[in-house]
Structure 1
Amino acid sequence: MKTQTPRSLIFFTPETIEGAAAPLFDAGISAGFPSPADDFKEQRLSLDEELVKNKEATFYARVSGQSMIGAGLEDNDLLVIDRSLEPENNKIAVCFLDGEFTVKRLRVSADEIWLQPENPNYPIINITEDNNFLIWGIVTNVIKKV
């Protein structure tokens, strides 16, 4: 994986590895009573095929901070970001704002754009023409460690 280091996020480009598909047991994993192992039907699953729809426009970045915990994005989670998707109201986006990258929920109304954190301890940011602002990409998935 290649890395670039903007100020607050580290971006990774996806690297496809042939034959890297892992076994998938497509019977569902019970969170209640266990089911007999005989019911499992093994298939192969590639996370690249599941998570990356447009390889040339997809990047990964690690979350830094707590401003999006209400949306389930926590410190050190890995974001899957697609730069080919159109920004829309209510989407979670990685934005370049005044020299730094940030991840926030887009709020678009009439002629205004707001970046809304998902943590009440952080302020909503109103984007004005005075800001150096770019919507860099749309978050499509989050990968967590448990």
Structure 2
Amino acid sequence: MSNILNLNQTSRDRVEILGRAVSESEGATPLYLERISAGFPSPADDYIETALDLNTYLVRNPAATFMVRVSGDSMSGAGIHDGDILVVDRSEEPVPGKIVVAVLDGELTVKRLVRKDGQIFLAPENPRYRPIAVAAEQNLHVWGVVSGVVRRL
């Protein structure tokens, strides 16, 4: 895809590259067999199903996966918020409907990839922003598909 951004449809969202997704720790967090109730509390079981390594849980292809930090709110409707860390898989095909990390004319952004009537759009998930129509003369490069979100509370 080789295309460009309409200058009147800019977004202030940015992503900061954090690095590859690799596991450097030996220990894993315990994963309990029972699901936790988000409603009325119930007694917890005292046994563990298995250990949970977040890299194993979130990363399908370690050699092709990296993480970025989001700045901005254009993807809040998709559960991606300012300060979140995205798990991005370069091996996954960037098909329409997927959330992608892309470079459009040198600007790094995260948006939903949309194709409508043969036109490519980078669509936000916040009604305060408009989709970015990618014109034929613009340079669009998709770095990867977002496969997970990490957030601290």
Query: How does the TM-score come out when normalised to structure 2?
Result: 0.83
Q: CA deviation at 1:18?
A: 4.5
CA distance in 1, matches of 2:65, 2:147: 10
Q: Deviations over 1:104-143 (max 9, x none)?
A: 0111135321111111221211111211111110001111
The residue that corresponds to 1:14 in the other structure is: 21
Classify the secondary structure of the residue corresponding to 1:48: helix
Higher relative contact order (CA 8 A, sep 6+): 2
| 1:43-62 correspondence runs (5 A) | 43-62=50-69
CA distance in 1, matches of 2:120, 2:46: 48
Unaligned segments of structure 1, at least 5 residues: 1-7
CA distance in 2, matches of 1:81, 1:97: 17
The residue that corresponds to 2:124 in the other structure is: 117
Unaligned segments of structure 2, at least 5 residues: 1-13
The residue that corresponds to 1:4 in the other structure is: none
CA distance in 1, matches of 2:55, 2:149: 13
Q: 1:134 aligns with which of 115, 119, 141?
A: 141
CA RMSD, 1 decimal: 1.4
The residue that corresponds to 1:41 in the other structure is: 47
Q: CA deviation at 1:23?
A: 1.0
Q: Deviations over 1:17-44 (max 9, x none)?
A: 242311111211122333334x232121
Q: Which moved more, 1:92-101 or 1:20-29?
A: 20-29
Number of paired residues? 138
The residue that corresponds to 2:31 in the other structure is: 24
Question: Do structure 1's residue 81 and structure 2's residue 78 form an aligned pair?
Answer: no
- Residues 93 and 137, structure 1, Cα contact 8 Å, conserved in 2: yes
Letter in 2 for 1:113: I
CA distance in 2, matches of 1:109, 1:133: 17
Classify the secondary structure of the residue corresponding to 1:53: coil
Classify the secondary structure of the residue corresponding to 2:71: coil
The residue that corresponds to 1:94 in the other structure is: 101
CA distance in 1, matches of 2:126, 2:39: 32
Q: Deviations over 1:62-88 (max 9, x none)?
A: 111111111111100010000000111
Letter in 2 for 1:15: V
